[in-house]
Structure 1
Amino acid sequence: MNTASHEAQWKASLEALPPYSPGGKIPAFFFAHGSPLLLYPKGLRNPMADAIKVGARDGPHYQFLKYFGKSLVRKYSPKAIVVFSAHWETSKAIEVMDNDSNELYYDYYGFPDEMYKIKFESKGSSDVAQRVVELMNASQIPAKTLPNARGLDHGVFVPFKIMFGESAPVPVVEVSIDSSLSPQRHIKIGQAIEKMRDEGILVLSGGLSIHTFSDFTAWDPEKARAEIKAFEKAIVDAVEESTTTTERNERLKMVTKLPGFRMAHPREEHFIPLYVAAGAGSEGIASVICKLHGALTIAFGA
């Protein structure tokens, strides 16, 4: 794994994105949210260090997120962040956090005590939460606000702490994904809120291009099975080679038919957020911002 070449690639890709200006749109991003291991306490031996090198504390994914967060704030100066998380599924309606301030939901188990003392401060926004619901309902997608009833899960606060430091620069509103885990359903969910991008709202959708605990070699770029590498390459090819949004979305849906998909995702929830971002960024081109193994980050609608 050539970390220097990856760093050069993600810096160049982020710099190439056009800045936001009135009348324009902020891209929507599928971003690799990583795991709690990104914030594993320094000085303690990480039992999974040999398996998860890309996503280790201070590793290449950590370094990417630090640069990614700073770049987003500098380039787009968003009014707020709407973030979909692979760690929150709802069935009857999409739920939207409407918090005064966002508590943290430590939805992981078996970690050192320090991992349950992590702090990250952010405020919510009732106006933004209501706007998400309004747009969803206008597209015939049931949605409702969830006032002060849930905190940010680790699919949000772990990467955001690395991206933004001790506190978020703008309000953060987390949104659930649909438990159907249907790619087409989530493209429509993304399309429903596409207007928010030209209202100065940054839409992020967090998951991972590889997420499995049944084969830890899958996380290692040097040991992963050929089928898994082919699956991840197909994602990149769908983004980089497609000439229309329709072609891109169809090719992104087809990658779930590849043998490596189920090897990389025994369950689909960490891949489904990609389709939300693809839907929200239907207008404009797409580009792969970060090509780290298992941690692809893609901009849609640039």
Structure 2
Amino acid sequence: MKTLPTLFVSHGAPTLSIEDIPAREFLKGLGSRYPEVSAVLCISAHWNTKNPEVTAVEKPETIHDFYGFPEELYTIKYPVKGEPELAERTADLINKAGFSCDIDGQRGLDHGAWVPTRLMYPKADVPVVQLSIQSHLDPKRHYLLGKAIEELNHEGVLILGSGGAVHPLGYAPLGPGARTDDWAMDFDKWLTDAVTRGDVEQLENYSQLAPYPQRAHPYPDHFMPLLVALGAAGSGARGKIIHHSWYWGDLGMAAYEFNSDKK
């Protein structure tokens, strides 16, 4: 089976599902790039647990974990299947790497998972399993969490980190027509440079080394999925930018594909 790359996408606001913007059009075409995929393992910024957890639900519900958005969004259902066997395989790999991974047999898919995968696979014909983040842990641990699941790339599983390249929720005013600030563009440029060089040290220490990290990511949750995706790509992995746009002013919507030189 062909070894797959790993991905990081920015899912923006839930309205990405219905707004005619470049990031939505990009995601609508992304799934067709990887016809070999048998399942998606999505690391969403919106599932934060004490220890790593994976979902093992055969028919996961569509979770509308957001407030104050158009009513249309709350009627969206994504009837995709889960894959309990993949959940068990993922948990086994993580446990063998020295983490403690639990299996959740009830949780559905939050919008960090179903918004991008619904656009990528609108026929709901590719199973989706979620892996949680732990925002109380440091970035290095998330990189190592990714390395723990690297074998899945050889098994037809598309590892998809879903967060935000620039996600200043709680810092910058966001909304239609807002301008993109210079500090956001500076962080975005730094991030793309570090990703394309595969600079693990820079990315793990982004909060000290990047320009304006506390503005770009007031909370670490939307950055952690990128580190998991990078780690899962394997040693020596580098990223390439496959999409770039801005949304609501300072929401950076960049997406990256990671490949290891050894693959």
Q: TM > 0.5 between the two?
A: yes
Can you list the C-alpha shifts for 1:186-238, whole angstroms capped at 9, x where unaligned?
00100000011011111101000111233136997x83332221111011111
Higher deviation after alignment, 24-33 or 202-211:
24-33
Structure with the higher fraction of residues in helix conformation:
1
Aligned to 2:69: 111
Aligned to 1:193: 149
Q: CA deviation at 1:139?
A: 0.3
- 2:46 alignment partner, one of 67, 81, 87: 87
RMSD, matched Cα: 1.9
Residue 107 of structure 2 is aligned to residue 150 of structure 1: yes
Aligned to 2:4: 26
Can you list the C-alpha shifts for 1:91-147, whole angstroms capped at 9, x where unaligned?
1x2111000111111100122332211011111111100000000000001001111
Q: CA 1:66–1:35 in 2, change beyond 3 Å: closer, same or farther?
A: same
Structure 1's unaligned 5+ residue stretches are: 1-21, 41-56
- Determine the C-alpha separation between the residues in 2 that align with 1:219 and 1:209: 18
Tell me if the contact between 2:41 and 2:159 (Cα under 8 Å) persists in the aligned partners: yes
Q: CA deviation at 1:181?
A: 4.2
Aligned to 1:184: 140
Tell me if the contact between 1:229 and 1:260 (Cα under 8 Å) persists in the aligned partners: no
Tell me if the contact between 1:28 and 1:299 (Cα under 8 Å) persists in the aligned partners: yes
Q: CA 1:225–1:262 in 2, change beyond 3 Å: closer, same or farther?
A: same
Specify the structure having the higher radius of gyration (Cα).
Answer: 1
Tell me if the contact between 2:135 and 2:220 (Cα under 8 Å) persists in the aligned partners: no
Aligned to 1:256: 207
> What is the aligned residue count?
252
Q: CA deviation at 1:80?
A: 1.0
Q: CA 1:82–1:35 in 2, change beyond 3 Å: closer, same or farther?
A: same
List, as ranges, runs of 4+ consecutive aligned residues in structure 1 with deviation greater than 4 Å: 217-220
- Determine the C-alpha separation between the residues in 2 that align with 1:206 and 1:255: 18
Aligned to 1:121: 79
Question: Taking every aligned residue pair, what percent have the same amino acid on both sides?
Answer: 35
Structure 2's unaligned 5+ residue stretches are: 247-251
- Determine the C-alpha separation between the residues in 2 that align with 1:219 and 1:83: 28
- 2:27 alignment partner, one of 57, 62, 65: 65
AA of the residue aligned to 1:146: D
Can you list the C-alpha shifts for 1:266-297, whole angstroms capped at 9, x where unaligned?
11101111100010012444211112230111
AA of the residue aligned to 2:43: F
Can you list the C-alpha shifts for 1:61-99, whole angstroms capped at 9, x where unaligned?
111111112223x3xx211111110000001x2111000
Tell me if the contact between 1:218 and 1:228 (Cα under 8 Å) persists in the aligned partners: no
Q: CA 1:168–1:287 in 2, change beyond 3 Å: closer, same or farther?
A: same
Q: Secondary structure in 2 aligned to 1:276?
A: helix
